[in-house]
Structure 1
Amino acid sequence: MILEPFSDDEKFTKKEREEISKNRQNVIEELGKISKDTDNSLTFEEFLEHVNINEGEYIKMIRSKLKKAKVFLKRAPNEIRINAYNSMIMSLHRANMDIQFILDPYSCLMYCVDYINKSENGMSKLLREALNELKKGNSTVKERLRVIANKILNSSEISAQEAVYHIL
């Protein structure tokens, strides 16, 4: 389900805002309790009944805090601490995944740029340190390459394949 923030035309009275805030606090507390109980198997509908709100009030509560449109997946209440996933992809992929739904071109661009640059954080400083170490001693080209490769492998948050690509 894609939810959007309320428009400027949709105003709430003070009483409505207080009710939404009270509902939100109650839902957060109950979800906190449920997430710690791994044996809990409440469905979403049972959870709404448990906290005495209907689906419309729940959606209103979520929309009141949104700044931009966002995708929400229907999940069991005890799955709130699990990253977004698609059960079909999960069964085929059989590995860790972090699916992020992107609804506008700017967010897509920012996600791609952040992903590309994530492994480069601190890489310049790391290479400067490695070069300073290499300048101090007399070492062969092979030893120098090994020093740089080890620096990158031991200090980077990238896969071995990405590290090899950077080294080459």
Structure 2
Amino acid sequence: MIYTVHSNTKLKNLKQNVTECGVSLTSFGNKYYVGTKLEDTMLVGKQLKFVVNAGQMRCSEQVAYGGSLEATLRGGDYPVRDDRISLSMSALSFKKEMVLGGGIQTEFRPIRGMKMAVNANLNSQNMGQVNIKISSSEHIEIALIAVFSIFKAILHKKRTENKSREVLEMG
């Protein structure tokens, strides 16, 4: 069983600046993990936002450190339309090993009644992902899902055929 207790507080020290501090305590098995976080959010006008954070997790003699920097540019129609693009960088250090990562995320409306979000990230260990999320109040969403599923099935079938040919040629 995992138990977690956490607390955080925000301090709005300037009109365009919010600082947040957090502490957590997690019990997992017979070990206790303590985490701390410091985050600062700076707004430049209504469209540009910067977020910087750093933190650590500690258990016995092991410590992991991490931090990130994110810049978000909102669309010109904000807050009427919530279009935005974000770039982020992160670093994680544990046991003398460091992993660096970067990502991009965007949300926009390609047509009326539809919202689309695309998120992609990659780290220094060549691991990453791409996510595409579409939501709609129209029936076009169902058609897009069907087209994507068919395209994925065709690609899978071609890969299977290519592997079968390679096995036959080798054997």
TM-score w.r.t. the length of structure 1 is 0.26
More strand by proportion, 1 or 2?
2
* Larger-Rg structure: 1
Q: Pick 1 or 2: higher relative contact order, CA cutoff 8 A, min separation 6.
A: 1
More helix by proportion, 1 or 2?
1
TM-score w.r.t. the length of structure 2 is 0.26
